């Protein structure tokens, strides 16, 4: 496993199956609402590692680490701002320990938004945000990640800064996914970024893989990929939520079962994605469905 092999697999035309959700899987396994998920890498490593293993066993070619919020800004909300390196390195090590020892299996370091606004809209300077992402990227690289996945981005400037930090501070391939939803103006992020603008700005920032994650479900992801694919020659990643959740007994219950998403995932594959997986509400059963579809497609 190495980062050169990761890009070589994509450039060869192989379709990689990523994993599904981390947060909803942690909740299923006993993580209380409101706690710091990344702290579970230290206090409950067996739970985190069990999720990684379940995804690999279901057919994932790569798993993303339990480090989505493991940046100094977000960890400060829990009083853990000085534990970025600890949480990131440990999470990668847990994944590597159960990653199948064969060609084409990888660990991607997850990096989410800082949770802060950048000047002039908020308190953070662009330099501060760059340093926050740099610290996390370096820690994930130190742990041994094969790639860095910058996920669930809404603001173009923050996504650009994250990509630049990851590219400049490590030698790892970098993917960036933004979250789009349909509105009156078409597909936009919550900050009004359209798909064409996202592709242009992320490409200029030096990203290796472009795509979308989270959102409202697989139907919307089909529309996103249909719009995105003609705009770039770079590999595309698509990781959709399992629909819009219902609130049942204090927890989020997602409605798109593996059976429901099967034809939709097939359509996403047919549109030309290079990495397919899931986000909130998807689990190992969803990944098994995608694995079967990818194997069938690549055998044709």
Please give the CATH architecture assigned to the domain spanning 3-299: Alpha-Beta Barrel (3.20)
DSSP structural state of residue 99: S
Computed over every residue of the chain, the mean pLDDT equals: 95
Say how many Å lie between the first and final Cα of the chain, rounded.
Answer: 27
What confidence tens digit (pLDDT) does each residue in 233-264 have?
A: 999 999 999 998 887 776 778 999 999 999 99
CA distance 125 to 127: 5
Q: Per DSSP, what are the bridge partners of residue 236?
A: 210
The backbone torsions φ and ψ at residue 20, rounded to the nearest 5 degrees and listed phi first, read: -105, -145
pLDDT band at 1 (very low <50, low <70, confident <90, very high): very low
DSSP class of 118 = B
- How does pLDDT run across 199-216, given as a tens digit for each residue? 999 999 999 999 999 999
Q: What is the C-alpha to C-alpha distance for residues 41 and 188, in angstroms, rounded to an integer?
A: 34
Give dist(CA 300, CA 296) in Å, integer. 7
Q: How far apart are CA 55 and CA 18, in angstroms?
A: 8
Max distance between CA atoms of the chain, in angstroms, equals 53
pTM: 0.96
Instruction: Report the distance separating Cα 155 and Cα 167, nearest Å.
Output: 19
Q: Helix, strand, or coil here: 213?
A: strand
**Beta partners for residue 278, in sequence order:** 240
Q: Which residues pair with 252 in a beta bridge?
A: 247
Chain segment 130-161, per-residue pLDDT in tens: 999 999 999 999 999 999 999 999 999 999 99
């Amino acid at each position: 496993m190495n980062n050169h092999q990761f890009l070589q697999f994509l450039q060869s035309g192989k379709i990689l199956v990523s994993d599904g959700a981390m947060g909803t899987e942690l909740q299923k396994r006993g993580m209380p609402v409101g706690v710091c998920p990344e702290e579970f890498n230290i206090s409950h490593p067996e739970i985190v590692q069990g999720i990684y293993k379940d995804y690999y066993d279901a057919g994932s070619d790569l798993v993303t680490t339990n480090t989505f919020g493991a940046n100094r800004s977000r960890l400060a909300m829990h009083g853990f701002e000085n534990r970025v390196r600890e949480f990131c390195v440990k999470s990668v090590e847990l994944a590597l320990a159960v990653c199948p020892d064969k060609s084409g299996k990888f660990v991607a370091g997850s990096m989410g938004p800082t949770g802060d606004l950048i000047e002039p809209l908020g308190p953070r300077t662009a330099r501060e945000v760059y340093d926050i992402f740099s610290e996390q990227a370096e820690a994930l690289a130190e742990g041994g990640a094969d790639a860095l996945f910058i996920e669930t981005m809404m603001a173009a400037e923050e996504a650009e800064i994250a990509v630049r930090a990851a590219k400049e501070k490590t030698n790892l391939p970098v993917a960036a996914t933004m979250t789009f939803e349909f509105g009156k103006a078409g597909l936009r992020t919550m900050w009004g970024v359209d798909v064409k603008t996202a592709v242009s700005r992320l490409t200029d920032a030096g990203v290796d893989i472009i795509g979308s994650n989270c959102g409202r479900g697989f139907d919307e992801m089909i529309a996103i990929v249909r719009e995105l694919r003609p705009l770039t020659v770079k590999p595309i990643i698509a990781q959709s939520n399992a629909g819009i959740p219902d609130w049942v007994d204090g927890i989020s219950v997602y409605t798109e079962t593996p059976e429901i998403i099967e034809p939709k995932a097939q359509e996403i594959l047919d549109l030309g994605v290079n990495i397919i997986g899931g986000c909130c509400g998807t689990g190992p059963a969803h990944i098994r469905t995608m694995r079967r579809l990818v194997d069938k497609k690549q055998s044709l």
